[in-house]
Amino acid sequence: MGIVFRKEEMKDIQSASNVNIVQAPAGFEGPGFFATKLDHVVGLARKNSIWPLPFATSCCGIEFMATMASTYDLARFGSERLSFSPRQADLLMVMGTIAKKMGPVLRQVYEQMAEPRWVLSVGACASSGGIFDSYSVLQGIDHIIPVDVYVPGCPPRPEQILEGVMSIQTLIQNESLRRRNSPEYKQLLASYGIE
Amino acid sequence: MESKPAIQEDNKQYTTLNLGPTHPATHGIFQNVLTMDGEIIVDSEPTIGYIHRAFEKLAEHKPFYQVTPLTDRLNYCSSPINNMGWHMTVEKLIGAELPKRVEYMRVIIMELARIADHLVCNSVIGVDTGAMTGFLYVFQWREDIYEIYEEICGARLTTNIGRIGGFERDFNETAWRKIKKLVTDLPAGLKEFEKLLVRNRIFMDRTIGCGPISAERALNYSFSGPNLRAAGVDYDVRVMNPYSSYQDFEFEIPIGKNGDTYDRFMVREEEMYQSMSIIRQAMEKIEKLQDKTSFHADIPSFYLPPKEDVYNNMEALIYHFKIVMGETDVLKGEVYHCVEGGNGELGFYLISDGGRQPFRLHFRRPCYIYYQAYREMIKGAFLSDAILTMSSMNVIAGELDA
Amino acid sequence: MDKPTIDQVAEAINEKFGDAILSKEQQYDFTVITIDKSILVSLFRFLYDDERFQFRYLTTACGVHTPDQPKPFTMMYQLHSLVFNLRIRFKASTTLNDLQFDSLIPIFSSANWMEREAFDFYGIRFKGHPKMTRILNVEDMDYHPMRKEYPVEDLTRYDKDDTMFGRDKANFKKLN
């Protein structure tokens, strides 16, 4: 015997299941089949299941906590599963000042990540050193690792961090499967001295 | 509590475990190289400085009013306290007298900042015991406090709130309404949060007796703030050396007994209620004041005039020019001013040689001083307790590493 | 016990360490006593133990560099008697050739990192310190950055145009 719902209860359930589902990529459709490009499917899957590694060092990390918390809720973008192990992470989110003492650590974390990997530099300090133009601060993490998206602000608002994540999503969706094998990409990594 | 297994001095093989600097449980970047006997910590070697940003050197190269953004980034969980501590230091140096209304407004902002600071710390203690729910609950209240900051200064976290001599503008109606709403609603919210943790058996088992420190050792390590009070010493700068008219307020200083994680948690909880009471009192006092409009002191050589006056008024233009170009004469001398920050006595030791920049500015950063005791506090504890001890001490990387 | 005045404290110090007191002045709400660095530990031990004062809380300590003074390096110590709510500041200076103070760790455990910080920033050494190494900066740094002769900026920056940003060329050349 099934569960019988009253009419007003049904309404609640329907509204609760009002979940957005991503659009299928363009392709050919017919009875029982759907054909599309592998790139598109992989991009779609990767885009909506990013596992970020929060590399939160200072103030921006607190704004990241706000982004994770209930009001802004990063989970809406499929990124609520934080991967604290670099081996399983897709996205390295560098939030906060990276001092020279920290530089080698950051680089090691990047090297430990498996391809494909993306880097989001959150805040002025990570992007350029910010207001800390001093002897101990690395003037932008792009001196040691390649960066995909920069988020400005000191610290950026959670909305800005979300926009940064969405920009990363766009990059991921449109990335060719062969990009990581391309000579340009290898040259980029070589310019940073990363194998 | 059962006693912890004693550390045996035999020829056991110890494990060396590197905790940090990017370990997620360390909330920031601290490194501890632990010597472990199974699950028990035999010794630890802390390394800090992973976000050393040279605040003190930078401050020597910035005019007084530009040091405020640096102070934001010390203890970034409660930036307004740092900002105002710095403003009061400069005001002490130049001998400025502030109207009562400004002092009470400052008290409101500082107490809001204290609540915001303690909310983060306590919810994170919850997260470290495995209770994520409390964190999600209280961050809504923190967002409300951010909204109040935004009404007043336009920024959320690194506020740069206020100026030397007062505030850059008066609080608007929305700000007052939001403050009133917060102090009305927050007690119920906090009660809800406490219901999850305070008498929760798991939470109590994890935190009671975890990372204790005696009052004597705490004083020897120059503890201050909630961590010292949890150990049973009622030292609070707001009472011992009142600043910004704290002597006009009635409030209690909660103290603990054992100096363990649970006591630190409870002291912070109670302090939030006391802060709300102070905010209510301050709002009543502002209502009663004759003065309804002043929001800064009358110190034209340090407080920037409004922009309209700069364009239309000769005198204002001169002062504007003098402040911005650094032509203002500052007294020579050295001054120390301390405020009760989120973590304890936040001091500013300023030496002025009469120039527009500080000759030397030393921050007495409570975190930096009491984090030294961490090594002693986790000796003989379990690894998981060490994490809890760290989060309950509220070690903020920005403040620690300057 | 009655609360002693700060003058009584100064008197008692004068009585006990008379010839080692170099000056006493009032800086805002603080009495600042400049002492010879040889009496540091015995003075702090006296103030700690004496029941009349009980200065048992080391608020802060830091180094100061004043290049134009005959003794350019100064250590500032601030003590607090929590029982009587008295605060006092001590200063002791030394020259570059004799850049060493006695460590206060036997009296105050908190002095440990304050002294390491002074070493890191100014190169001031502390006799009897168990681990006199850099604390905030990288281990292989070869200068003490808070000394006045060194610039605040990163010396390896190449992206700044000197003519536009007013970078201190003199300092830059000296180091390279």
Are C59 and B347 a contacting pair at CB < 8 A?
A: yes
Q: How confident is the model at residue C157 (pLDDT cuts 50, 70, 90)?
A: low
User: Model confidence over B374-386: pLDDT tens digits?
Assistant: 999 999 899 888 8
Domain region containing C165: 146-176
What secondary structure, in 3-state letters, does chain A show? CCCCCCHHHHHHHHHHCCCCCCCCCCCEEECCEEECCHHHHHHHHHHCCCCEEEEECCHHHHHHHHHHCCCCCHHHHCCCCCCCCHHHCCEEEEECCCECCCHHHHHHHHHHCCCCCEEEEEHHHHHHCCCCCCCCECCCHHHCCCCCEEECCCCCCHHHHHHHHHHHHHHHHHCCCCHHHCHHHHHHHHHCCCC
Sheet of strand C30-35: strand arrangement: C21-27, C30-35, C86-94, C73-81, C57-65
The predicted model gives C47-62 an average pLDDT of 91
The predicted model gives C66-88 an average pLDDT of 92
Q: Complex ipTM, two decimals?
A: 0.89
pLDDT score of C156: 67
Interface test with A, best of C133, C144, C154 (most A CBs within 10 A): C154
Looking at the structure of chain C, the number of domains it has is 2
> Residue B182: pLDDT above 60?
yes
The predicted model gives B209-217 an average pLDDT of 90
- The answer to the question of residue A105 being in a domain is yes
> Between residues B27 and B126, which one has the greater pLDDT?
B126
Q: How confident is the model at residue C161 (pLDDT cuts 50, 70, 90)?
A: low
- The answer to the question of residue A19 being in a domain is no
| Total number of residues shown for chain B | 402
pLDDT score of B65: 87
pLDDT score of B23: 75
> Residue B115: pLDDT above 60?
yes
pLDDT score of C176: 38
pLDDT score of C93: 93
The predicted model gives B309-320 an average pLDDT of 91
Alpha-carbon distance A135 to nearest alpha carbon in chain C (angstroms): 4
**Is A70 in the B-facing interface, judged by CB distances under 8 Å?**
yes
Residues of C with CB under 8 A from a CB of A: 136-138, 145, 150-155, 157, 159
pLDDT score of B325: 82
Q: Which residues of chain A have pLDDT under 50?
A: 1-2
- The answer to the question of residue A6 being in a domain is no
- Same domain? For C151 and C133 the reply is no
> Residue B181: pLDDT above 80?
yes
User: Model confidence over B244-301: pLDDT tens digits?
Assistant: 999 999 999 999 998 899 999 999 999 999 999 999 999 999 999 888 888 988 888 8
pLDDT score of C143: 87
CA distance C124 to C114: 11
pLDDT score of C16: 87
pLDDT score of A1: 42
- Same domain? For C16 and C83 the reply is yes
Q: How confident is the model at residue C28 (pLDDT cuts 50, 70, 90)?
A: confident
pLDDT score of B223: 92
Q: Which among B46, B399, B393, B41 is positioned nearest to B213, based on CA atoms?
A: B393
User: Model confidence over B57-89: pLDDT tens digits?
Assistant: 999 988 888 899 999 888 888 899 999 999 999
- Stretch(es) of chain B classified as CATH 1.10.645.10: 55-401
pLDDT score of B287: 92
**Is A101 in the B-facing interface, judged by CB distances under 8 Å?**
yes
CATH number for the domain harbouring residue A120: 3.40.50.12280
Q: Tell me which residues of chain B, numbers 63 to 92, contact chain C at a CB-CB cutoff of 8 Å.
A: 92
Nearest to C157 among A100, A136, A139 (CB): A139
- The answer to the question of residue C1 being in a domain is no
Nearest to B21 among A63, A105, A135 (CB): A105
Domain region containing A139: 50-191
**Is B326 in the A-facing interface, judged by CB distances under 8 Å?**
no
Looking at the structure of chain A, the number of domains it has is 1
- The answer to the question of residue C39 being in a domain is yes
pLDDT score of B1: 47
Across chain B, mean pLDDT equals 89
In CATH, the architecture of B55-401 is Orthogonal Bundle (1.10)
- The answer to the question of residue C95 being in a domain is yes
Using a 10 angstrom Cβ sphere, with 0-12 exposed, 13-18 middle and 19 or more buried, the burial of residue B176 is middle
